[in-house]
């Protein structure tokens, strides 16, 4: 039995190595394609949108340090001429397992903290999104704010929060920058069909999914999360950005079974065909960059109407099935 367990570990390790290698090759291939596009661009208007995610460390409960992290990430993004950049889920406040600590580290969307965030980042000509624990009428929401040039453009609240002290969100706004329509879901939302489908039906071509991951089983977590996201990209014919955090080993916590929990990173961009075309790697604090060509077409795009077609054809049957299950 021990030999079998050892074999499985070896196979799993090799699988991850292959996955990482494939990711790197796909990213290099896409980067080469983007370079050729830039070199061969004609006199028409620029059709590229430069997108990034800052895979970084969250300082639990320290707004000022986390604000400086956002500013540093935006400075890197400005140097790279990015148009849009995302930051991890709950970055401004931290992500907590108990409600008491979460409430202690929360604030309203019209708070002095958000006002300071707007003021301190107004100098950047970049649209960005960042998460925090929002306190609204005495209730907690897991929220992402969307900001550009010191202005609050809107926000999104997590539809399927892991912790029950958060109130689920039920609004799915779509935003636009340089002709790119995009939407936002948060972490666990990507494991469900409907949030990404709703955004795609509203016209989003790109979906951002900020994460804050801490997993005791990083290998299985890695496999399941990637599979979820590839499915969301293909079934909706959209680009999908998983934007994760990292947790240093000295800051790691243990779960109820005494297992160490890992914040391993692995942020990436998946194209509508399901290929990973950019990646931040494991445990790296880094700015991931992807140059999106709005004119590029993918094999899956001829099926862009699939979500609408199946919703129209099968929604009634789905609702009846749900009733029968009760």
**What mean pLDDT comes out for the span 144-164?**
97
Q: Is the pLDDT of residue 43 over 60?
A: no
Worst-scoring range by mean pLDDT, 134-138, 174-178, 213-217?
A: 213-217
Instruction: List all residues 6 or more positions away from 11 whose beta carbon is below 8 Å from its beta carbon.
Output: none
For helices 112-121 and 63-79, the axis angle rounded to 10 degrees is 20
Rounded CA separation 83/127 (Å) = 6
pLDDT for 105-130, tens place per residue? 999 999 999 999 999 999 999 999 99
Structure tokens at 36: 């050729």
CB atoms within 10 A of CB 254: 10
Q: Is the pLDDT of residue 145 over 60?
A: yes
Rounded CA separation 200/16 (Å) = 30
Of 106, 97, 118, 178, nearest in space to 143 by CA: 106
311 versus 241: the higher-pLDDT residue is 241
Q: Is the pLDDT of residue 7 over 60?
A: no
pLDDT for 69-111, tens place per residue? 999 999 999 999 999 999 999 999 999 999 999 999 999 999 9
**Average pLDDT, whole number, for the chain?**
87
């Amino acid at each position: 039995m021990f030999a079998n367990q050892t074999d499985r570990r070896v196979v799993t390790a090799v699988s991850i190595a292959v996955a990482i290698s494939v990711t790197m090759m796909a990213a290099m291939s896409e980067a080469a394609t983007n370079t050729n596009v830039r070199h061969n661009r004609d006199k028409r208007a620029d059709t590229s949108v430069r997108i990034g995610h800052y895979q970084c460390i969250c300082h639990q409960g320290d707004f000022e340090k986390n604000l400086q992290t956002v500013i540093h990430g935006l400075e890197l993004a400005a140097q790279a001429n990015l148009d849009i950049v995302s930051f991890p889920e709950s970055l401004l406040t931290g992500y907590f397992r108990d409600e008491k600590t979460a409430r202690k580290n929360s604030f309203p969307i019209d708070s002095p903290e958000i006002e300071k965030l707007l003021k301190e980042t107004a100098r950047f000509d970049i649209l960005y999104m960042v998460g925090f624990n929002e306190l609204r009428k005495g209730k907690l929401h897991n929220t992402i704010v969307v900001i550009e040039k010191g202005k609050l453009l809107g926000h999104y609240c997590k539809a399927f929060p892991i912790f029950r002290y958060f109130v689920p969100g039920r609004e799915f706004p779509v935003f636009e920058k340089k002709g790119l329509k995009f939407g936002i879901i948060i972490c666990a939302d990507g494991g469900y069909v409907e949030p990404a489908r709703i955004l795609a039906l509203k016209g989003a071509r790109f979906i951002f999914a900020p994460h804050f991951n801490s997993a005791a089983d990083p290998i299985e977590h890695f496999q399941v999360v990637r599979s979820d996201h590839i499915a969301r990209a293909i079934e909706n014919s959209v680009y999908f950005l998983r934007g994760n955090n990292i947790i240093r080993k000295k800051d790691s916590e243990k779960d109820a079974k005494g297992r160490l929990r890992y914040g391993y990173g692995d942020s990436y961009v998946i194209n509508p065909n399901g290929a990973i075309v950019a990646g931040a790697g494991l445990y790296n604090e880094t700015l991931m960059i992807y140059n999106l060509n709005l004119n590029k077409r993918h094999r899956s795009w001829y099926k862009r109407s699939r979500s609408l077609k199946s919703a129209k054809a099968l929604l009634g049957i789905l609702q009846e099935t749900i009733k029968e299950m009760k």
